[in-house]
Amino acid sequence: MTDAENVTEPADAATPSEPTKLPKIRLIAKPAVTPDAPVDSMWELIGGRDTFEKLVREFYVGVATDEVLLPMYPEQPDLEGAIQRLTGFLEQYWGGPNTYSQERGHPRLRMRHMPFKVNPDARDRWLHHMRNALDTLELPPLYDAEIWAYLDRAAHAMVNTFEE
Ligand code: HEM
């Protein structure tokens, strides 16, 4: 008898038997919310339109005092149009109504900033006024950090020249 033949198995192991009944295991965890339930957007979480408009109005209070940024605004000293456009864009980005795109089309922000000299100095000034504005909202730190990370990244992406 070879070693292979010597391997014995229980008689019923080779014959097909009733399929083994396994306990039913839920492979996909049941989501906490049904798929079609609305997920809170940052827009909702921090107070919707009023909060975004406050942020942008505070930001433009700073811009209005800025000798580098203010002259860039085509309609200055009237900043109301710019206030409405930035508010609408940020609302849309953070999950609010998409009025901005209905009125202005695709944001194409880098392209829209090409006419302006956005060098590192302009970027840092923009961020400085935005930081001050965000502080006035006194948001919970995690929300503040998330919004700030976005604004910081977006402002860095907007730089289109390194000329002084
Ligand atoms: C980095 C420095 C930046 C400078 C110097 C700058 C400057 C400007 C200027 C001069 C305008 C034209 C004003 C107007 O007529 O609306 C403008 C428009 C705008 N900016 Fe900026 N910007 C900067 C960064 C950003 C960033 C980071 C965002 C978004 C997070 C942003 C969003 C917008 C929007 C939505 C508009 C209106 C676009 C349109 O619909 O025409 N900007 N910006």
Cα–Cα distances (Å) from 73 to 12, 61, 68, 124, in that order, read 86, 13, 10, 17
Residue 7: per-residue pLDDT: 45
Is position 35 within any domain? no
Is position 123 within any domain? yes
CATH number at residue 60: 1.10.490.10
Ligand 1, pocket residues at CB < 6 Å: 69, 72-74, 81-82, 85-86, 89, 104, 109, 112-113, 116, 118, 122-123, 126, 151, 154-155, 158
Is position 68 within any domain? yes
Residue pointed to by tokens 């977006």: 154
Residue 40: per-residue pLDDT: 86
Q: How far apart are the first and last CA of the chain?
A: 92
Domain coverage including residue 81: 42-158
- Looking at residue 64, its amino acid is A
Beta-carbon contacts of 60 under 8 Å, excluding residues fewer than 6 positions away, are 79, 82, 83, 129
Residue 22: per-residue pLDDT: 64
pTM for the whole thing? 0.82
- With a cut of 70, list the residues of the chain below it in pLDDT: 1-19, 22-39
Ligand 1 centroid from CA 113, angstroms = 6
Is position 163 within any domain? no
pLDDT digits (tens, 9 = 90+) for 112-160: 999 999 999 999 999 999 999 999 999 999 999 999 999 999 999 999 9
